[in-house]
Structure 1
């Protein structure tokens, strides 16, 4: 484990698997912890089922998936070696206004060296991340995998999306092993009106704790010219968890809704209130991402092309802000030196933010 800090923010990385194990943000008298940590991490390893990927046994915070989901082109565990194997700390040093750390994956991915560059800045309630693939050959699908957790649910909001889609099959189709809520396959242009498996309409912006289910849905970014964002207004925690991206680099957001819908070990129905907000350039599985897939048919890129003389990089931001209530966020906009968050009730919060970091307008 390595930890680095700037004024008001601390980040810890589990170097055994490259997961962001902890993100702590101090703002006024509040201490915010926006990221999730699996309940079985500190349990004896012999209590866990045999053969689990290391990325599951140490599931926490955020991590790089490369590829996303199945590793069926180059042999690796679920979500690839970046989520399941050691990283080396290459550099960790102070900057003029904070701290920067660079880690390097001990393995290669499609022949590429993989680096993780993490930056925190004094007074900024955000972790700024960049991942780079240096060299290699072929193509790789990628996604971030940040997870937040809510004790009593919350309200979800997103930058404009042009479609919300479920795949052909649910995550847990066997009722002896788990349960699901949504219809598969299904599609909507309205997050508040999505088909449920029983014919009812489900509001995906309302994370409720009174039903147990495991679901997975893909959101395609609309062409709106600004940063892609997700905002989770957590009811009991009284904060807003923010995730930001450049849609040109990561054109989809996949939601993993894990609310007690897996009944087998190590989940055992106790993995509740968890939401994965997985910004990616991917279909489900490496081979699917490289071949023909429904996202490509809609004009959405699902992989990055690698090359021996190329450095392919993409960026991502995770943060949290205090909130008096669980009002849903209405809008998030970036301007020079700040991020403005506006709620549906009209309240406005401006916080320090590096508006140039995501390189909006760049092709990625």
Structure 2
């Protein structure tokens, strides 16, 4: 595997240059080593043992990656989730900074005529990876999403910044019971994330990841207008940590949850892809054509693509972090960001301050 590892005090990140995925992320904090990101169980298996038509992004599935477009590439020919998730990236720069490390990668492919750069920044004693993607030039519209994945051995509990609603698409990911299974109703929506319509007519709690529920489900959360960062916090029970994913809702207005818990029976998934949660912040509908055309999110006033243009740069930012906490702990009640730190309001009312670049997400600033 062709990789590059970058490091700062207390944190390291490895990039798989063959597909641009984050192959590993390690946070050393309070005497513990946390590994927040997932790696598919088949990555080290011989390629000839996997289905021949599998996209390279699925063959190398790990960590986080850029989707452009998200889901189907039905406007410009490309694999599932586009060339950024399935083809090589070059290292443009990788060097120490005064307080950490900064690396720049460039996708070898163009996307709608645009050059795509990935900028990763680590800061000493910050348990966070700061990411920025920049599209330079090009034409037309492009839908985008991050695709961070984590995995649990005994489930976990979720909390979110305020959401307007949650909705499933028209069809489940695995409608054929001979190939897989699902638990949510499709299509359905709810403003209460703890009582989402289930396929059996009941209700399911989207904030509770339970290992005994074998399923493959996908649901989109639409950010409410609250003026702060968008965030998802996952308290992993057995791992005794807190995974935090942050975005600027003006850039990435939806968060898509992919629950992959043994719900696919065909290769390479084969019922072994368990305990995985994708926390996928994006500006997208399902598929490139749908994102550019009429879709339910646009009818809700939610943008589903960026407009590219000659001589124009489009960028968006994203943060992934990990913090230790007690096994079986609860996710926070609230997360706020200030200059130099993040404040986490725990479920029990206590406050915790963590080093954080509060200016990075450009909250409240015009970036287009």
Deviation string 1:22-47 (CA, Å, 9 cap, x unpaired) is: 01000021000000000000011111
1:330 and 2:333 matched: yes
1:301 and 2:268 matched: no
Deviation, 1:114, is: 0.2
Counterpart among 160, 163, 175 of residue 161 in structure 1: 163
- 1:348 and 1:155 map into 2 onto residues whose CA distance is 19
Deviation, 1:345, is: 1.6
8 Å Cα contact 1:9-1:26 kept in structure 2:
yes
* Alignment-derived partner of residue 260 in structure 1: 262
Farther-moved stretch of structure 1 (261-270 vs 327-336): 327-336
Pairing 1:1-364 to 2, within 5 Å after superposition: 1-325=3-327, 326-364=329-367
Deviation string 1:156-195 (CA, Å, 9 cap, x unpaired) is: 1100000100011000000000000000010000110001
Q: CA RMSD in A?
A: 0.6
- 1:363 and 1:262 map into 2 onto residues whose CA distance is 42
For residue 287 of structure 1, give the secondary structure of its aligned residue in structure 2. Answer: helix
- 2:63 and 2:344 map into 1 onto residues whose CA distance is 23
TM-score (norm 1): 0.99
Unaligned runs of 5+ in 1: none
Unaligned runs of 5+ in 2: none
8 Å Cα contact 1:249-1:363 kept in structure 2:
no
Deviation, 1:348, is: 2.2
- 1:241 and 1:33 map into 2 onto residues whose CA distance is 10
TM-score (norm 2): 0.98
Deviation, 1:362, is: 2.1
* Moved beyond 3 Å, runs of 4+: none
8 Å Cα contact 1:248-1:362 kept in structure 2:
no
- 2:310 and 2:126 map into 1 onto residues whose CA distance is 36
- 1:134 and 1:335 map into 2 onto residues whose CA distance is 30
Give the aligned length. Answer: 364
- 2:359 and 2:366 map into 1 onto residues whose CA distance is 14
Deviation, 1:363, is: 3.4
